[in-house]
Amino acid sequence: FTSASSDVHAFLGCLSATIPCNLVKTPGTNSYSELLMSSVQNLRAVLPGTTRPVVIVAATEPAHVQATVVCGRRHSVRIRTRSGGHDYEGLSYASLDPHEHFAVLDLAKLRAINIDAPRSEAWVESGATIGELYYAAATANQTFGFPAGYCLTVGVGGHLSGGGFGALSRKYGLSADNVLDAVIVDAEGRLLNRTTMGNDLFWAIRGGGGESFGVVLSWKVRLVPVPETVTVFSIRRSRNQSAVDLISKWQLVAPVLPRDIYLHVFVQNQQADFIALFLGRCGRLIDTMRRYFPELGMTQQDCQEMSWMKSTVFFAFNTANLPVEVLLNRTNADYFLKVKSDHVQEPLPRHAWESIWSKWFEKPEAALVMLDPYGGVMGRISPLATPFPHRNYMYQLQLFSSWSENGTAALEKRLSWVRGVYKDLTPYVSKNPRAVYVNYRDLDLGTNVLEGNVTSYEKARVWGEKYFKGNFKRLAAVKSKVDPKDFFRNEQSISPLPAAK
Ligand code: FDA
């Protein structure tokens, strides 16, 4: 809807019948800016020129979410749902369309977590963070874990609906693979669970990105078993200590290691950090590393044994010397971000690493490059089981640029670094199409175009098949069924499937 068709005044009047006015913030009212910024993770998305919401609804009850959807449809004000605000392009709180009138439905206060210890399950509301989920699970029982990302402030709502990858994924798959049920408010404002939403919608929200189909209020998840003691290490090797040789070898080793070991690499500042989680004690880890990867030179001194909960602190902060209560912190970012992701099927030759390193990694604006191994359970789940299709790659590659200098010069430099490396990687990475992870949102892949008042399927396929391959068509079919009028729409929402397809 544009400023011409939407009636913001009537929308606000409609909201006031159900939602207390202190939960509805319009620009200029007390604490609008504070609420808007409260979970923003990318300052690039709130630069002058990006369109901000005409209202933010800080929902505290499901009825507030239902009312916002019903009033939005009635008065032509579109909704962007925000759980943790970590979308890399800020799509949960900002629009690229200068004329769009939209509301942000902020779920940060809908964050209850209920652990059912006898069943090893939990109900978790979308506004909780994954750090809060880790804390609640492991506090209920030290042997409960959950497979999800490293960044503890990521919101459950966006993370689970887009996939959710982390250090337990080789053992247990994505977060979305461990969802057992969900409660969603659909485009009619109805509350649906797994049974009433049906198999297709339940399939779509486990990796297809939640924003296209409704507002997911809560998720029932399977908690996975972890040992009381796990082991981590972080081994740093500089370029002149043969980091390039080690990365070349890592490509062959990390995806085929036993699934109890997760070993990823961070490359930055002329060095590579090899960081591992092992679901067991140090002794067995040393034996396995000597067998598979003796060149890394891992020894007993590298081992740090700890609880699984503490290991999530270690992965987030690269130190375990922080109390586990940091899992409960919520922060907003004070940096700008640009991220691109890819997948690798064949190891990059050593000369490719050498030349990319010399050309790019020595520049002051170089980003953090993260290499995350697949294999294990990731490769055993069908690419059709959920919308996430990239199951059979060796590893995922992420170019993660974050910077704090404001201004166009810094922005341009960072963007051109990330885009330049992405281009130079072309011969070595996924092809036809490039395989990209939807939780690492990237608007460079393309943005939606309208045909009439509905998102064009043909145009959406351009970016959509990079995220979802053949699953994109099924996602579009689900969209036609549950939201044919395309109410839940943003720059990269799933289009409805035209009748003829
Ligand atoms: P946010 O609230 O911004 O939502 C993201 C998208 O989902 C938006 O389009 C939004 O509308 C939609 N959405 C959110 N809640 C919804 C709901 N309840 N119902 C329907 N739609 C909803 N990923 C990963 O797999 N592993 C990792 O280790 C990391 N690490 C990481 C670090 C940092 C610093 C960032 C910024 C991001 C990551 N991510 C990640 C990516 C992260 O998983 C991804 O951005 C998630 O979508 C974020 O979910 P939030 O709820 O925080 O985002």
Adjacent-strand bridge partners of 399: 340, 369
pLDDT tens, 30-54? 899 999 999 999 999 999 888 999 9
CA of residue 157 to ligand 1 center, whole Å: 7
Q: Provide mean pLDDT across the span 330-344.
A: 93
Cα separation of 224 and 411, whole Å?
Answer: 41
Q: Whose CA is nearest to atom 44 of ligand 1?
A: 439
Q: Measure 310 CA to ligand 1 centroid, in angstroms.
A: 23
Ligand 1 near 396 CB (within 6 A) = no
| pLDDT per residue as tens digits for the range 58-79 | 999 999 999 999 999 999 999 9
Phi first, then psi, for residue 234 (nearest 5°) are -140, 115
- Ligand 1: residue of 46, 439, 483, 490 to mutate (most ligand atoms within 8 A of CB) is 439
Is pLDDT of 4 > 80?
no
Question: Is there an atom of ligand 1 within 6 Å of 147 CB?
Answer: no
Beta-strand runs (E) in 239-318:
261-268, 271-278, 304-306
Average pLDDT over residues 293-311: 98
**What SS3 state is found at 491?**
coil
Ligand 1 touching residue 211 (CB < 6 A): yes
437 Cα: distance to centroid of ligand 1 (angstroms): 12
CA angle 59/92/365 to nearest 5° reads 140
Task: Tell the residue nearest (CA) to atom 37 of ligand 1.
Answer: 86
Cα atoms in the Cβ-side hemisphere of radius 13 Å centred on 6: 22
> Cα dihedral sign for 146, 152, 158, 164?
negative
Residue 462, judged by CB atoms within 10 A of its CB (0-12, 13-18, 19+), counts as: middle
Predicted local distance difference test score (pLDDT) of residue 240: 84
pLDDT digits (tens, 9 = 90+) for 345-377: 999 999 999 999 999 999 999 999 999 999 999
pTM above 0.95, yes or no: yes
Q: Whose CA is nearest to atom 26 of ligand 1?
A: 149
Residue 51 CA, chain-centre distance (Å), reads: 22
Nearest protein Cα to ligand 1, atom 28: 149
Could you tell me the distance, in angstroms and rounded to a whole number, from the CA of residue 156 to the centre of ligand 1? 7
* CA 82 to ligand 1 centroid distance, Å: 9
Whether residue 5 is predicted with pLDDT greater than 90 in this model: the reply is: no
Which ligand 1 atom is at minimum distance from the Cα of 154? Answer: 52
Q: Which residues are paired to 79 by β-bridges?
A: 103
| Centroid of ligand 1 to alpha carbon of 123 (angstroms) | 18
pLDDT, residue 68, reads: 98
Q: How far is the CA of 287 from the centre of ligand 1 (A)?
A: 37
pLDDT of residue 1: 63
pLDDT band at residue 412 under the 50/70/90 scheme: very high
CA distance 495 to 474: 11
What share of the chain in percent tops pLDDT 90? 94
Does residue 82 line the site of ligand 1, with CB under 6 A?
yes
Residue nearest to atom 41 of ligand 1 (CA): 439
Ligand 1 contact, 53 CB (< 6 A)? no
Protein residue with its CA nearest to atom 20 in ligand 1: 210
CA 85–ligand 1 middle distance (angstroms): 7
CB of 159 sitting under 6 A from ligand 1? yes
* Cα-to-centroid distance, 324 and ligand 1 (Å): 22
For residue 161, report the distance from its CA to the centre of ligand 1, in Å.
8
CA-CA distances (angstroms) from residue 327 to 187, 219, 313, 413? Answer: 34, 20, 7, 33
Q: Which two tokens stand for residue 161?
A: 């609906």
The residue-averaged pLDDT of 305-329 equals 97
Chain CA centroid to CA 403, Å: 20
pLDDT (0 to 100) of residue 2: 57
Rounded distance, CA 277 to CA 257, Å? 12
| Predicted pLDDT of residue 332 | 79
pLDDT on residue 131: 98
Residue nearest to atom 1 of ligand 1 (CA): 85
Q: How far is the CA of 445 from the centre of ligand 1 (A)?
A: 18
- Interface predicted TM-score (ipTM): 0.99
Average pLDDT (394-420) is 97
pLDDT digits (tens, 9 = 90+) for 201-226: 999 999 999 899 999 999 999 999 99
CA distance 18 to 68: 9
Q: How confident is the model at residue 3, as a pLDDT? A: 60
pLDDT tens-place string over residues 276-285: 999 999 999 9
Sign of the CA dihedral with 343 first, then 349, 352, and 357 last = positive
